[in-house]
Amino acid sequence: MTYKILNTRAPRVDAIDKVTGRAQYTDDLSRPGQLYCAILHSPIAHGRILNIDTSKAESLPGVKAVITGKDTGTIKYGVSPARYDETILCLDKVRYIGDEIAAVAAIDKDTALDAINLIDVEFEELPYVLDGIEAMKEGAPQLHEKYKRNICAKVNWNFGDVKSVEKDADVVRTDKLTSQMQDGAFIEPQAILAEVDGSGRLTMYSSTQAPHYIQRTLAMALEIPLEKVRVIKPAVGGGFGPKASCSTAELVTCKLAMITGKPVKMTFDREQVFLHSRARHQFFHTMTTGVKKDGTILFLKHNCILDGGAYASFGIATVYYAGSLLGGPYRLKHMDYDGYRVVTNKPTSGAQRGHGAVHARALFEMQLDLIAKELGMDPIELRLKNVMGAGETTCNELYMSSLGMRECLEAVRDKSGWAEIYKLKKTKRGNNNHKARGIGAACGFFVSGAGYPIYRSQTYHATVVTRISETGGFAIVESGAADIGQGSDTVLAMITAEVLGISLNEVKVKSGDSDLSVDLGAYSSRTTLMAGHACKEAAEACRDKILSSVAKRVNAKQTDLYIEEGLVRSRKGEVDFSGIREEFLQEHVGFTDHPTDEYLTFREAARIAFMEHGSIVGTGKYKPPKLGGSFKGATVGTSPAFGCSAQIAEVEVDLETGEVDVKKITGSHDCGFAINRTQVEGQMQGSMSMGLGEALMEEIMFDNKGSVLNRNLAEYKIPTSLDMPQLDSIIIETNEPNGPFGAKEVGEGAIMPVIPAILNAIRDATGVQITELPAKPERIVEGMKKKK
Amino acid sequence: MKFNVVSPENTKELLELISVNQDRYFRFGAGYTDLLIELKKQPDEDLTVINLAQLTDDIFTAISKIADGFRIGSLVTAKRISLSKDLQSNYSVLTEAAKKLASGQVRQVATIGGNICTASPAGDMACALVALQANCEILNSNGTLRIIPITDFFTGVRTTVLQKDEVLRSIVIPSNNRKNKIYSNFIKIGTRRAMECSIVSLAYHILTDEKSIITHAGIALGSVAPTIMLAKSACDYLLGKSFSSLNPSEIKEFSQKILEYASPISDIRASAWYRTEVLGNVAKSIFEN
């Protein structure tokens, strides 16, 4: 099938507005008479609140409202209903440095901040625990009553029968990998503007990834009917996961707007981004993998402890993902997993690109390399021997409706020149006393949309309403989907243009508004597949209505007519459209843009349909079929489709300083079908950049009291453009049967192989096996020293 | 962040403003890349900033060749230093340090005077100037000039010999006398290639005669002590030796002398252990190319 719009490199629909600064982000919005919100954060890691005195703050001129937990109530909220453990503001306890105690609305930001400083809080300090392993021990300070030994979620899975095959393994290795808590480091700090209209309806503009979930949480926690809450997502400067859950900042800003009757605005400082966090957990992975002499992977025993900070947030999903996504992309019949999600007195972790699975993948792919070495096998050969393909099901009942894992691996192997480089004697790689070169490969695997909503519901995951303008000049797509910079508006516009047979600039996308449609949001790499399906269906409905009207008028069969490049054509010879043209011209006397084509234009056709039906509206919907097994937690990891990827990293390590120079990454990703080739590559390259940062530099550091030391982007290092290597991005297309036009994810899967590919390359260069991320120069020098 | 700003346009106005503000709390602002971050953390509404950015006098703004070297006005930006062909061919330690400072955007406005007066042990251009054994030309509010070696300028972390009525006007780099070949470079160790505060830096400026004998050596160390250190005994050790044929034990001895100047701390960027380890390694690498 050839397409006119899809599979091209069409420019993004928001490109001009963004590069010219015209795009409106939440912080760009303002309302006459708006107030500013500021939040009082806990200065201690763990303590009981004995008293809060807000009187001085309240009497400061310019202060309109001061609220504490007494005002915001006892309703618990969170991400997963079974783990609701947060109140809007702290009630009896604070649980980390940054926990939210009180909020102020004042006439300007300075006044609000001054008022915050005037709130006196009396604490009884409690012992605190900052280490996830320590937190699980008997007698450790307990954060929440309901989480015994501070374990807020536990997973014990046994797939297949590990015990029965253990003795058959020729190589068995146990390895460990520890990571650090990370930050999302999106460019736009969270921003909120909340206002209540004359009818008492609350509208919140927020830099969120998930208007639908936020709308539900606001209604529930603020105790107002769902219909009285609207969430709008203006342009968003990145999210990567941390903006997927509802925050105290959103809740208190709304609460203050409701109390004062005035619009209230709040934008986080970068420091607050770090304190609110909800980004990547700290993981402690231990894996034992058994393999036969011929390279067949037999079993995996996996233990993982996740330090998630003070509250559960997305953590329950994270701990499941950390185990479930090792089910693929290799044939692995026997897998045990023990996962523990632990709370500590630190900022809360949540979801971040590659949710839960990134470091598990990293250690497993490192193990595969070490095992290949022991077996004397080429690490790519070992992987190829084990890869799954379409039609296979993992031991934890994930079904691969398409899976181009083999194609991905072969593509990067061939493109990178792996065979030659890997076999080269180290001296011939240009190594000397200072520098050593290495090469490493890894694979990855990820969901293309979570199989189930976060809350228990039979809801559609995405609906779309598409309308054709009464002049026939353009189509308007209305969707709740959240374009947070990943380009989903462009994907929806391209799908609509393709189905309607019109050009991309004749499609307008309105999105990110809970009033427009139901869409679960930008997380789990779901939008192209799910909103894409709904969008396709809505556009098809419009197209069919239009063609049906035209067919009636010209006595043709609707199925013989089609629209291409803005023109209505017939598959069955010439059709006389002159009557329609005449009518159209009569209605547009004096206009200068009359159609002159010999074929009927889309405009004329749509106008004819409008004359018959009034507004031409098409609706579309999508929800996945029932997926997954029946074991506890079987829903996490299910997806209508799975993307996969392979990467080869080449590095040069400075042996004197431990500095790692990533020279090149060759990456491939099976996205099923590339709706927009440039955007697919953009996601792959963004993943490589993010993965490179996670591999080499990113870590949140704490002092011994639990305070974040590097709460800014000067000291929380992410890669700069100068740190980026040459990137070769290869798109693999396997025509996913469950995806619209065969498309599936690329947003998160592409980050999976980056860390292990780099770490495997570092080991290839230096012999140093990294056991603790990030692989900072210091850790590499330490490793080399130990080796000597 | 609120503060008062006054913007003198020439030296005379500047000296007057310094004079009249002696009883008040004031700071100098030039490129503002450090000052604004500092003021954001600790706002002070009573603060007056004497804005040097509008000064037009060449003595503050120009790079000029003088009889015994080069003079660089304290308002010259890192970007201009990195582009100067004269400085590149004579003192590449300085141009390399300028190129490695922060990012393109910061280099566009950050000044050499600011880099010195901030007195950070991690100052990139400041470290190069210590290796070059530059002199600081300081004006006081009476218009009196005093000249002190940059090696005496720093008194501790973020403290200098500057008095309240003084301003750093310019820097003079001595000329490279009787040189045959110049070995001059700036080594900066960090986790990324831009927007990085050095974990360790080493600036060296070594001159040799036609027989490759070292006639002059200036080696400065950054981020390993409360102030940037001139490794004097390591420099002296090199004098009279052949640059291209130092033997391994001499290189080792040299590196040990360098380490005598290091008393690093552990902080969020790196441990003291790593700083020491890597300093010893990069010191050796000067001679290994």
Residues of B in contact with A710 (CB under 8 A): 268
Residue with tokens 């998630």: A308
pLDDT tens digits, B228-244:
999 999 999 999 999 99
Instruction: Please tell me the distance from the alpha carbon of residue A670 to that of residue A750, in angstroms, as a whole number.
Output: 9
pLDDT tens digits, A733-787:
999 999 999 999 999 999 999 999 999 999 999 999 999 999 999 999 999 999 8
Cα separation values, A74 from A90, A92, A168, A307, A572, Å: 9, 10, 56, 26, 68
The tokens of A41 are what?
Answer: 């954060």
Task: State mean pLDDT over B177-197.
Answer: 91
Interface ipTM: 0.94
pLDDT tens digits, A315-366:
999 999 999 999 999 999 999 999 999 999 999 999 999 999 999 999 999 9
Instruction: Please tell me the distance from the alpha carbon of residue A149 to that of residue A141, in angstroms, as a whole number.
Output: 9
Shared domain check, B188 and B158: no
pLDDT tens digits, A469-526:
998 889 999 999 999 999 999 999 999 999 999 999 999 999 999 999 999 999 999 9
Domain end position, chosen among B137, B155, B174: B174
Instruction: Please tell me the distance from the alpha carbon of residue A389 to that of residue A381, in angstroms, as a whole number.
Output: 16
For residue A624, which of A634, A639, A635 has the smallest C-alpha distance? A639
Shared domain check, B156 and B73: yes
Beta bridge partners of A155: A339
With 80 as the cut, is the pLDDT of residue A427 above it? no
Instruction: Give the DSSP letter of residue B63.
Output: E
Instruction: Please tell me the distance from the alpha carbon of residue A216 to that of residue A211, in angstroms, as a whole number.
Output: 9
Beta bridge partners of A191: A267
With 80 as the cut, is the pLDDT of residue A541 above it? yes
Shared domain check, B63 and B38: no
Contacts of B189 (CB under 8 A, 6+ apart): A657, A659, A777, B198, B199, B200, B201, B278, B282
More confident of the two residues A705 and A472: A705
Count of all residues that appear for chain A in the document = 788
Report the number of distinct structural domains present in chain B: 3
Shared domain check, B170 and B62: yes
Instruction: Please tell me the distance from the alpha carbon of residue A316 to that of residue A414, in angstroms, as a whole number.
Output: 40
Instruction: Please tell me the distance from the alpha carbon of residue A712 to that of residue A185, in angstroms, as a whole number.
Output: 9
Instruction: Give the DSSP letter of residue A82.
Output: G
Q: What are phi and psi of B163, to 5 degrees?
A: -90, 165
Domain end position, chosen among B149, B174, B199: B174
| CB-nearest partner of B281 from A656, A696, A719 | A656
B194 touches chain A (CB under 8 A): yes
Least Cα separation, residue A780 to chain B (angstroms): 10
Residues of A in contact with B192 (CB under 8 A): 697, 717, 719-720, 722-723
> CB of B46 within 8 A of CB of B82?
no
Confidence of residue B126 (pLDDT cuts 50, 70, 90): very high
> CB of B108 within 8 A of CB of B95?
no
The total of other beta-carbon atoms located within 10 Å of residue A218's CB is 27
Please give the model's pTM, rounded to 2 decimal places: 0.97
pLDDT tens digits, A170-216:
999 999 999 999 999 999 999 999 999 999 999 999 999 999 999 99
Confidence of residue A430 (pLDDT cuts 50, 70, 90): low
Shared domain check, B225 and B127: no
Q: Residue A434: what pLDDT?
A: 87
> CB of A104 within 8 A of CB of A38?
yes
| CB-nearest partner of A710 from B268, B270, B277 | B268
Residues of B in contact with A722 (CB under 8 A): 192-194
Using CA coordinates, name the residue in chain A closest to B267. A709
Q: How far is CA A395 from the centre of its chain?
A: 25
Contacts of A122 (CB under 8 A, 6+ apart): A49, A50, A51, A52, A53
The total of other beta-carbon atoms located within 10 Å of residue A180's CB is 18
Domain end position, chosen among B131, B152, B174: B174
pLDDT tens digits, A443-483:
999 999 999 999 999 999 999 999 999 988 899 999 999 99
Q: Residue A593: what pLDDT?
A: 87
> CB of A770 within 8 A of CB of A779?
yes
Task: State mean pLDDT over B120-135.
Answer: 98
| CB-nearest partner of B270 from A434, A723, A778 | A778
CATH number of the domain bearing residue B280: 3.30.390.50
Least Cα separation, residue B69 to chain A (angstroms): 34
Cβ-defined contact of A657 to B192 (cutoff 8 Å): no
Question: How confident is the prediction for chain A on average, in pLDDT?
Answer: 96
With 70 as the cut, is the pLDDT of residue A429 above it? no
Task: State mean pLDDT over B256-261.
Answer: 98
Residue with tokens 């927020």: A206
Q: Which domains does chain A have, with CATH numbers?
A: 26-126+187-238+242-276 (3.90.1170.50), 282-452+629-787 (3.30.365.10), 460-622 (3.30.365.10)
Instruction: Give the DSSP letter of residue B52.
Output: G
For residue A366, which of A776, A786, A784, A769 has the smallest C-alpha distance? A769
> Which of A187, A271, A657 to mutate to probe the B interface, most B CBs <10 Å?
A657
Q: Residue B178: what pLDDT?
A: 67
CATH number of the domain bearing residue B16: 3.30.43
Q: Which domain holds residue B89?
A: 58-174
Task: State mean pLDDT over B83-95.
Answer: 97
With 80 as the cut, is the pLDDT of residue A300 above it? yes
Shared domain check, B234 and B166: no
Residues of A in contact with B122 (CB under 8 A): none
Q: What are phi and psi of A287, to 5 degrees?
A: -130, 140
B169 touches chain A (CB under 8 A): no
Q: Residue A505: what pLDDT?
A: 94
With 80 as the cut, is the pLDDT of residue A433 above it? no
Contacts of A573 (CB under 8 A, 6+ apart): none
> CB of A466 within 8 A of CB of A538?
yes
Q: How many CA within 13 A on the CB side of residue B129? A: 33
> CB of B27 within 8 A of CB of B35?
yes
Cα separation values, A525 from A323, A535, A634, A746, B274, Å: 18, 16, 19, 7, 40
Residues of A with CB under 8 A from a CB of B: 433-434, 656-659, 696-697, 701, 709-710, 714-715, 717, 719-723, 776-778, 781-782, 785
For residue A220, which of A103, A67, A78 has the smallest C-alpha distance? A78
B1 touches chain A (CB under 8 A): no
B249 touches chain A (CB under 8 A): no
With 80 as the cut, is the pLDDT of residue B179 above it? no
Report which residue type is found at B236.
D
Least Cα separation, residue A520 to chain B (angstroms): 37
H and E: helices and strands count for chain A: 21, 26
Contacts of A727 (CB under 8 A, 6+ apart): A664, A665, A667, A684, A685, A688
Question: Which H or E element spans position A783?
Answer: helix A777-787
CATH number of the domain bearing residue B104: 3.30.465.10
Shared domain check, B223 and B170: no
More confident of the two residues A92 and A434: A92
Least Cα separation, residue A617 to chain B (angstroms): 50
Count of all residues that appear for chain B in the document = 289
With 70 as the cut, is the pLDDT of residue A369 above it? yes
Residues of A in contact with B189 (CB under 8 A): 657, 659, 777
Least Cα separation, residue B192 to chain A (angstroms): 6
Task: State mean pLDDT over B263-268.
Answer: 95
For residue A300, which of A156, A444, A158 has the smallest C-alpha distance? A158
Q: Residue B288: what pLDDT?
A: 78
> CB of A233 within 8 A of CB of A239?
no
With 70 as the cut, is the pLDDT of residue B289 above it? no
Shared domain check, B165 and B193: no
Least Cα separation, residue A61 to chain B (angstroms): 19
Residues of A in contact with B285 (CB under 8 A): 434, 656
> Which of A187, A778, A784 to mutate to probe the B interface, most B CBs <10 Å?
A778
Least Cα separation, residue B128 to chain A (angstroms): 20
With 90 as the cut, is the pLDDT of residue B40 above it? no
Q: How many CA within 13 A on the CB side of residue B58? A: 4
Cα separation values, A580 from A501, A577, A670, B167, Å: 19, 6, 46, 83
With 90 as the cut, is the pLDDT of residue A422 above it? no
> Rounded to 10 degrees, what is the CA torsion of A319, A325, A331, A335?
10
Q: How many percent of chain A have pLDDT more than 90?
A: 94
Interface A–B counts its CB contacts (< 8 A) at: 57
Least Cα separation, residue A727 to chain B (angstroms): 17
Helices A578-587 + A602-613 axis angle, to 10: 80
Q: Residue A503: what pLDDT?
A: 96
B85 touches chain A (CB under 8 A): no
With 80 as the cut, is the pLDDT of residue A638 above it? yes
Q: What are phi and psi of A329, to 5 degrees?
A: -95, 20
Instruction: Please tell me the distance from the alpha carbon of residue B198 to that of residue A714, in angstroms, as a whole number.
Output: 12
Report which residue type is found at A143.
L
The tokens of B47 are what?
Answer: 């603060």
B274 touches chain A (CB under 8 A): yes
Helices A211-222 + A248-260 axis angle, to 10: 60
Contacts of A578 (CB under 8 A, 6+ apart): none
Cα separation values, B102 from A438, B146, B192, Å: 29, 31, 10
- Alpha helices by DSSP H, listed for chain B, are 11-20, 35-41, 58-61, 78-83, 85-90, 92-100, 104-109, 112-117, 124-131, 232-238, 248-259, 272-285
Query: Exposed/middle/buried for A678, CB within 10 Å: 0-12, 13-18, 19+?
Result: middle
The DSSP code sequence of A110-179 is HHHHHHHHT-EEEEEE------HHHHTSTTSPPS-TTSGGGEEEEEEEEES-HHHHHTT-SEEEEEEEE-
